[in-house]
């Protein structure tokens, strides 16, 4: 059972080339190489749409523990957020939103599942770059797309289905 007060979901990209096969265990190695305690994300979504989590036996941060995914955005953010990392985010070394449809489908369903569990306030599903802008941290393109309008657009695709959050769409 989770006892953290989670009120934001932060979407990230791994800053790896589109089409390369990486996962939670790779991120765990990269983060440990930097001297960290391991993979700082709660979820990793591979190119085929597979969602990796600690609950499924992968090298991810347990959901009941604070993540380590928002860098220099300021104290407290890791305690109150869930970090989701999409594998990819680069094409020929440049930021790119070239994620697979399977990844984006999985991201959408995962966000909805997390909202059902934590009742995330409207507008609090954001990209890392949005949090960076809010906190004046060093700029990054992560996750290489604008999460809020993407989520509104995805909700609109599911006409007749319950949206992510009734207060989220206008």
Catalytic residue IDs: 12, 41, 128, 140, 142
Structure tokens, 83: 């970090």
Backbone angles phi, psi at 58, to 5 degrees: -100, 165
- 43 has which bridge partners? 53, 84
What is the signed CA dihedral for 149, 63, 25, 96, rounded to 10 degrees?
A: 10
């Amino acid at each position: 059972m989770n006892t953290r007060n989670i009120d934001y979901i932060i979407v990230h990209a791994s800053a790896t080339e589109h089409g390369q096969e990486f996962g939670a265990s790779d991120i765990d190695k990269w983060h440990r190489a930097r001297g960290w305690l391991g993979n700082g994300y709660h979820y990793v979504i591979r190119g085929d749409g597979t969602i990796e989590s600690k609950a499924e036996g992968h090298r991810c941060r347990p959901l009941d523990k604070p993540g380590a995914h928002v860098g220099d955005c300021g104290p407290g953010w890791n305690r109150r957020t869930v970090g989701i990392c999409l594998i990819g985010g680069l094409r020929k070394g440049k930021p790119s939103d070239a994620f697979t449809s399977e990844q984006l489908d999985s991201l959408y369903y995962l966000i909805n599942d997390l909202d059902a569990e934590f009742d995330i306030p409207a507008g609090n599903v954001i990209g890392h770059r949005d949090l960076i802008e809010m906190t004046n941290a060093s700029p990054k393109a992560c996750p290489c797309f604008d999460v809020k309008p993407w989520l509104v657009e995805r909700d609109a695709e599911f006409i007749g289905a319950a949206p992510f959050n009734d207060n989220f769409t206008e």
